[in-house]
Structure 1
């Protein structure tokens, strides 16, 4: 171990580089202070505190004198939040939000038909939103700003300090209420001393990922941080008929922060970001022929094989070249202003944010070279939010948070569908609409330290959400011109939280919570040909019961956390089908009167031997429809395939399994040691298992994604004194064939395959 001078501390300490990329450090004094913190600090405050611990220091080093686990403060919180550090994100090669499902129990993050629109499910709670015109059951935050449209997170997974994944009803201490929980991304903040770094990652299929950042002081009490990323190449699918390949990334992003601290009690920060994404998509592979009259069912037996096409007349209509591949053509940008002031008795915080998206997206939704379901979508959307919050000072038996959150969004969508090769239709259609939305919510949270170890928790929130669907039109060129009357959805709901926490010993605490969460209603607005498709679905709500514990039985050597939960679900919002007998099944949303979900979660970190580091988590969950009757889409499609006639088959799904993945597991093991006085080395392996998942109500066979197991590995050499590291790695080491989501359109039902094995290398330098 080499003593190194760290300017921000002004003292000598032993340091050692953590490996496999750009590194972060842990301050023993800060952790010790966090461990002494009273147990009444709010969950949100815990996440922020853990975040500030590693952002206040140089990002290239970590203390090894007394090694401790990350997020020590969070061990005193009455929640089951999964905290993910920057080094874990790097070691597990997380480059998109969909990769997060490999790091947390009972979490599903899936793209919509392989596009940049993302659906989140946490403990089985989530909405498969067709075109992201509805609020998610699991809200995503970036630097404490709620993103109402999931595609806005496109290109945001760089220079991330940490991630928090919190299941269960949310919105009692910050932000907006929801029923399923939240995913919080925290980007790195400006530093008071100069730091910078860069990395270049080159892997299979000519993929390149370049990252860089610079951070430091501009003037007295004025600091900044600027970070950027570009991702290129990596397309691994190909068309066997002509050899053309598909899936190359073409994405660039920038993020900047400017922080002014005029005095020790006040902080003012301005932030902004920009993303351009012209990446190609991953195409689905047909697994079911839904149309018996179609004689061109493709033979795409190879795992990497696919097919697509862009017809000249369709390209002219949407204003893109006829050589266009399935791809994105997106621009996202946003800005925020946050002000904080410590009044002594309480801390005042306000965040104002504005986010925009401009999408042009072409997806070949039949997975073939025929024009039976090609879709081009234009989206022009923006969202403004304003939060004001007051948090009491620590050190008192009563800790409270009160606040209010306002959000307003505007969206205009236009999507074209090419059915010219589909005998049942034979035309190009265009649908367009506008959607206006605004919501106002208020929240209050109280935590009272009843005794030295017992903490009582209570929370309350309310939301009023008003949204209107306007100017909806569907043009079937050469056939009809349809106009629909406006629709509206109004939600007024109240949520609540009650809990008790006991810090039984210094290193073991348990808690029990009961909470009620809710999510606003909305509309299905895809390819509408009948007014009934636009009927608003109702808000959903659930009552959640959770019993959990957190423990460090061998401090610095072993950490064990666990939780059990039961959800009583009312009016669960799910994707079903609406059948038009002369047209076919069309997706819509319905409310399940009653359902339930239960499960368990465990996580562990261990240092069993010198130089050996282990961590992992496991989630098991089951869900059942208690009362539910709906269209049986597989049976309806099967009857049409056999007879050429559409006939509705309805099924009572009471007692049917929800189809959520029952078992999810992830873990890693690493061996780290000094190679020389200056060089350190690491060998690591990781893996994750994901159970099968039904993609339709009661889905079996091809309507269910098979289970899969993936492995990865890495080896790193790094210099403690000179700030560089070199890594070789492999993802999907066993080259498994698996599917990550599914889709359907007219003639085919498809599975969207996951990435094959990638082998790569990364060079990093930081100071």
Structure 2
């Protein structure tokens, strides 16, 4: 006989009644198995197999001071079951209900952040942008408010609009590399969990980089039938629908189909005409097949499709240096700032679409800032137990077709409107062989990874009212071809006294070319007729192809000490490497295409992971120092008689250092608290560059564009110094077999400079902000359905989440105002 009786409130502890049942049945010769149930009224979520697998894999590759198959904690109930024997009778415990997830990962020498699917739902995560609210020292921002997303971990990241360069933080979905961040659009649905790794990577899988990686893990097919649907409705007519169905097709063959739609939610408007802006219009599907022909083989085929026709959140101009295009601040109710600057009231923005510009790009003149993107792809996974090791291969093809209109100058004038057309695809192949038994002292992984990426991009700009300097329409087009081939190995060995040494190496060869780059100017007056161009071409300039090749090693070396079963500490030194690349945005002179050099970082990290009071308190902390060489950064490049342009360059020497910790508390049987805290500082130690603020100020005064250089040596690099976020939940059973969860969440993000030396210059840095949210969920303990009400930004704070520059404007992208919503979900 087996009992599934659940202790109501104390995770990892047996209730008095459960203990009595063990005593009674144990003496009568009956074995009991107490299970960790998905419907636990305490933990609020089940410790999923995928999560445990992730922690075990991490421990296997990085080195573990003791076998991770042994439970990290032994509760009173386990000890009772262990010692309770009567003759041939045995009492066994087959599972433990834990207050905290990822127990195996507690024995891995790293500072990774692991996020459960329940936490993602609780926090209302809709896109990858929301992940910055669930981890320390992480910043994720849209470039110009569009689909290109920039990831920063511990201050390492890159503002790369055209994505001609390797990401500083590599992104993956189910271990498939997504080399272009915009390809991640629409992937945050039917997610099993997310892993965020800080620091140089590339010795265990995938590609090398300097900043870290983000891996989204999606749900696999199930061998039994399951289905579910969730509807989420919130302020500003926002609606989000998620659904899935999963089950067997035939013996050893199962499937899963999942999808999501996102509609509405726009909260901006144009004060000049009252037009509404920001509604989402997105649909996504993912299908998986899983085949297990025998117990040693697994094959998974996955396909996905995303259609995104969403309107964008547009910026508001913080600095406008073009005196010939004034803005009536008083009539619009904006906030006056230094000469030539203004900030519109929150919720307002300006844009315009020139009919001639619309004709050239082939879109309607009534179009708002928006996306028109189609993304699709497929990947095939093969895994085989060879007895002495496991062989894994991953083959993937990903493609995107993008059409993106942004009012890049964030004004009603046609001084920098932009339209992008991107046709890109990526093919990747990985082969990996690794040890199987995680209890062995010696663990090893070897593998190879190949990625080929190519794109054709067209970028149109409307400068027709940017006079007297330009006054025309412009198009820059180019082909971008990249390929990367890497080989890697990672080893670890557990010495006596619970000490483990580990190390890894990566060799990567990268080659990329920028070909067929031309810039075309179309002069006015623009009399459009038919389907052709509005005006004859004024001039076409072809530029010399540019190339960049890199061939370097990176790696890691470290030591771990498992002091007690509940406390481990580690120290590691790693070298990160990222290839060089190009700038290809609105090219007017050959000097813009000069490739930047590769960047490297020598990273030192020390940390510990502790469960000082198992199932009551967990504290993981790390300190780091990055010695940064040739940091890749986007700066201004001033062309006399033309104006400032963006160009990537290298900072010869810089440094980043900081600390971070994650604290989880379950001090009382109903209360669960999580707090992430990060503090980091970055300093340019040797760097001289164009002073954008001084250049704009000089132009506003004289009407002349002139480069002004400033030394930024020993200057703060402008990364947000402090980030903190967390949740506090109260869970109890108001009625039998039903659970009520009431909680609050918070986030704080410090000031961020948008350009070197941006602190102290109005409009060139983002202000700090603090946000508060709340949620309440009622559900049965079996999780068959749930009802949730929630609120975000409850204080209705006015804040800005990213910023940038285009021609005459330095702009800010505002964050969302208060949203109140409700969610209802059913699972079968």
TM-score, normalised with respect to structure 2: 0.87
* 8 Å CA contact retained: 1:559, 1:606: yes
Instruction: Give secondary structure in 1 for the equivalent of 2:132.
Output: helix
1:531 equivalent to 2:562? Answer no
From 458, 478, 484, the equivalent of 1:433 is: 478
2:786 pairs with one of 714, 725, 745: 725
Within 5 Å, give how 1:249-264 maps onto structure 2.
249-264=280-295
Q: 2:550 and 2:629 mapped to 1: Cα distance?
A: 15
| Aligned equivalent of 2:602, options 530, 533, 543 | 543
Distance 1:218 1:760, change over 3 A: same
Distance 1:38 1:434, change over 3 A: closer
Instruction: Check 1:170–1:696 CA distance in 2 against 1; reply closer, same or farther (3 A cut).
Output: same
- Measured in 1, the distance between the counterparts of 2:260 and 2:57 equals 39
Where 2:505 maps in the other structure, the secondary structure is: strand
Corresponding residue for residue 609 of structure 1 = 668
Check the 8 A contact 1:379/1:413 in 2, yes or no.
yes
In structure 1, the partner of 2:498 is 453
CA distance in 2, matches of 1:439, 1:490: 10
Are 1:28 and 1:66, in contact at CA under 8 Å, matched by a contact in 2? no
Is the 2:64–2:494 Cα contact (8 Å) retained in structure 1?
no
Equivalent residue for 1:506?
Answer: 565
Aligned match of 2:820: 759
Once the two structures are superposed, residues 134-173 of structure 1 have per-residue CA deviations (whole angstroms, 9 ceiling, x without a partner) of: 1101000110011010001100001111111101110001
Equivalent position to 1:667, from 714, 726, 743: 726
Match of residue 346, structure 1, among 389, 395, 413: 389
Q: Distance in 2 between matches of 1:519 and 1:254?
A: 33
State yes or no: 1:463 paired with 2:522.
no
- Which of 181, 189, 213 is residue 244 of structure 2 equivalent to? 213
- For residues 170 and 352 of structure 2, the distance between their equivalents in structure 1, rounded to whole angstroms, comes to 35
Indicate whether 1:137 and 2:168 are aligned.
yes
Q: Report if aligned partners of 1:291, 1:746 keep a CA contact under 8 Å in 2.
A: no
- Report the CA distance shift for 1:123/1:86 in structure 2 as closer, same or farther (over 3 A): same
2:114 is aligned to 83
The residue that corresponds to 2:701 in the other structure is 642
Judged with a 3 Å threshold, the aligned counterparts in structure 2 of structure 1 residues 743 and 44 are, in CA distance, closer, same or farther, namely farther
Measured against aligned partners, the alpha-carbon deviations of 1:699-752 in whole angstroms (never above 9, x if no partner) come to 123101000001110111112357111110001111110001112222221101
C-alpha distance after superposition, 1:679-712 (max 9, x if no partner)? 2111100001000000001112310100000111
Shift in Å, 1:631: 0.8
1:225 aligns to what? 256
Change in 2 beyond 3 A, CA 1:44/1:762? farther
SS state at 1:42 partner: helix
Distance in structure 1 (CA, Å) of the matches to 2:58 and 2:41: 33
Distance in 1 (alpha carbons) for counterparts of 2:782 and 2:267: 39
Is the contact made by 1:20 and 1:715 (CA closer than 8 Å) also made in structure 2? no
Q: Does 1:107 align with 2:138?
A: yes
How far apart are the structure 1 equivalents of 2:515 and 2:100? Answer: 52
Alignment of structure 1 residues 263-342 onto 2, 5 Å:
263-296=294-327, 299=332, 300=334, 301-342=344-385
| TM-score normalized with structure 1 length | 0.94
Residues 585 and 346 from structure 1, CA distance in 2 versus in 1: closer, same or farther, beyond 3 angstroms? Answer: same
Could you say if the C-alpha distance between residues 636 and 612 of structure 1 is closer, same or farther in structure 2, counting changes exceeding 3 Å?
A: same
- Written as runs of structure 1 = structure 2, the 5 A alignment for 1:511-526 is 511-526=570-585
Establish whether residue 128 from structure 1 lines up as the match of residue 189 from structure 2: no
1:444 aligns with 2:489: yes
Change (3 A) 1:236 1:413: same
Measured in 2, the distance between the counterparts of 1:474 and 1:29 equals 50
Kept in 1: contact 2:51–2:116 (CA 8 A):
no
Distance of 2:632 and 2:108 partners within structure 1: 31
Q: 1:398-449 CA distances to partner (integer Å, 9 max, x unpaired)?
A: 1110000000011000011011111121110011000111110000000011
Contact in 1 for aligned 2:165/2:581 (Cα 8 Å) = yes
| Structure 2 unpaired stretches of 5+ | 7-31, 70-93, 335-343, 524-537
What does residue 181 of structure 2 align with?
150
By how many angstroms is 1:296 displaced?
3.5
Q: Say yes or no: does 1:378 pair with 2:421.
A: yes
Write 1 or 2 for the structure with the bigger share of strand. 1
Q: Which moved more, 1:551-560 or 1:10-19?
A: 10-19
Matches within 5 A, 1:574-589: 574-589=633-648
Q: Distance in 1 between matches of 2:818 and 2:695?
A: 38
3-state SS in 2 of match to 1:173: coil
C-alpha distance 27-372 of structure 1, shift in aligned 2 (>3 A):
closer
For the residues of structure 1 that align with 2:51 and 2:149, how far apart are their CA atoms?
A: 36
Bigger Rg over Cα: 2
Note closer, same or farther for the CA distance 1:465–1:766 as it changes in structure 2 (3 Å cut). Answer: same
* C-alpha contact 2:36 2:97 (8 A) present in aligned 1: no
**1:85-111 CA distance string (max 9 Å, x none):** 111111111101111111111111000
Q: Residue in 1 aligned with 2:73?
A: none
> Does the 8 Å CA contact 1:289/1:297 hold for their aligned counterparts?
no
Matched residue SS, 1:88: helix
Q: Does 1:633 align with 2:692?
A: yes
Q: Is the 8 A contact 2:259 2:286 kept in 1?
A: yes
Q: Is the 8 A contact 1:16 1:64 kept in 2?
A: no
Q: Measure the CA separation in 1 of the matches of 2:57 and 2:239.
A: 46
Deviations 1:739-767 (A, max 9, x none): 01112222221101000010000001112
Equivalent position SS for 1:639:
helix
Could you say what secondary structure the match of 1:280 adopts? coil
Q: 1:34 to 1:521 in 2, by over 3 A?
A: closer
Per the alignment, residue 744 of structure 2 pairs with: 685
> 1 CA distance for matches of 2:129 and 2:61?
28
Cα separation, 1, equivalents of 2:133 and 2:737: 33
Distance 2:259 2:295 in 1: 30
The two structures, once aligned, show a CA RMSD in angstroms of 2.3
Q: Distance between the aligned counterparts of 1:232 and 1:45, measured in 2? A: 46
The match for 1:60 is none
Say whether the 8 Å CA contact 1:130–1:524 is kept in structure 2: no
Are the counterparts in 2 of residues 454 and 501 from structure 1 also a CA contact under 8 Å? yes
Residue aligning to 1:367 = 410
Aligned with 1:411 (options 455, 471, 475): 455
Is structure 2 residue 652 aligned with structure 1 residue 593? Answer: yes
Aligned mates of 2:391, 2:787 — CA distance in 1: 44
In structure 2, C-alpha distance between the alignment counterparts of 1:569 and 1:557, rounded to whole Å? 39
C-alpha deviation, 1:351, in angstroms: 0.2
Offset at residue 292 of structure 1 (A): 2.0
Secondary structure, counterpart of 1:459 in structure 2: strand
Give the SS at the match of 2:358: helix
Q: Which residue of 2 aligns with 1:740?
A: 801
**Unpaired segments ≥5 residues, structure 1:** 5-9, 51-62
The alpha carbon displacement at 1:195 in A equals: 1.5
Residue 58 of structure 1: aligned partner:
none
Distance (Å, rounded) in 2 between the aligned partners of 1:473 and 1:27: 52
Mapped partners of 2:49, 2:648: distance in 1:
51
